[in-house]
């Protein structure tokens, strides 16, 4: 039998809760630390509510816009406050120097959205750096 700590939520559960509260139509949230999402988060953007260019149509079709959240220490109140200020401005999020957060109507939807976000960040990064 797993220990009770195995069922304990991660320290960033307030990010998930914030989405559920402000976007009640969402039934799942995935947070990853994908390489290209993190790399792309280091870029500077004029519009921080939509930061991954539509190089293919799929990110917009599956997820929508991806906004950035300024760097704050993982698991900190400052991170949660900053995220809360931005959660309604975009459909998915890049936490600067940290990773991506994506909601979906269910777990599969969130999975396909996070997969598309990572691939779109990869394409954007590779095109910019060629």
Q: What percent of the chain has pLDDT over 70?
A: 96
- Is 12 among the residues known to form the active site? yes
Nearest Cα to Cα of residue 89 among 39, 49, 43, 57: 49
Q: Do the beta carbons of residue 50 and residue 35 sit within 8 Å?
A: no
pLDDT attached to residue 4? 57
Integer Cα distance of 64 and 82 in angstroms:
20
Q: How many residues does the chain have?
A: 130
**26, 62, 99, 130 from 108: Cα distances, Å:** 12, 12, 19, 33
Catalytic residue among 20, 58, 71, 112: 58
- Residues 26-45, mean pLDDT to the nearest whole number: 97
For the chain, what are the domain ranges? 11-128
Catalytic residue among 12, 72, 116, 118: 12
pLDDT attached to residue 1? 46
Nearest Cα to Cα of residue 41 among 76, 80, 72, 63: 72
Token digits of residue 85: 């200020």
Q: What average pLDDT does the chain have?
A: 94
Q: Over the stretch 2-29, which tens digit does the pLDDT of each residue have?
A: 555 677 878 889 999 999 999 999 999 9
Strand partners, 31: 101
- Is 72 among the residues known to form the active site? no
Q: Over the stretch 71-83, which tens digit does the pLDDT of each residue have?
A: 999 999 999 999 9
Reported pTM = 0.91
Q: Confidence band (pLDDT; 50, 70, 90) for 106?
A: very high
- Residues 33-59, mean pLDDT to the nearest whole number: 96
**21, 57, 100, 110 from 116: Cα distances, Å:** 24, 10, 11, 10
Q: Do the beta carbons of residue 28 and residue 110 sit within 8 Å?
A: yes
Residue 126 has pLDDT above 60, yes or no: yes
Strand partners, 100: 32, 94
CATH for 11-128?
3.40.225.10
Q: Confidence band (pLDDT; 50, 70, 90) for 85?
A: very high
């Amino acid at each position: 039998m797993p220990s009770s700590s195995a069922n304990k939520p991660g320290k960033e559960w307030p990010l998930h809760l914030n989405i559920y509260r402000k976007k009640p139509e969402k039934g799942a949230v995935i947070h990853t630390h994908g390489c290209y999402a993190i790399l792309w988060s280091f870029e500077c953007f004029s519009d921080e509510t939509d930061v991954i260019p539509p190089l293919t149509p799929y990110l917009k079709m599956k997820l929508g816009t991806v906004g950035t959240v300024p760097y704050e220490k993982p698991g900190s109140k400052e991170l949660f406050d900053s995220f809360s200020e931005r959660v309604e401005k975009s459909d998915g999020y890049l936490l600067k120097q940290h990773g991506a957060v994506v909601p979906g109507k269910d777990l599969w939807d969130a999975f396909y959205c996070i997969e598309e976000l990572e691939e779109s960040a990869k394409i954007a990064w590779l095109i910019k750096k060629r």
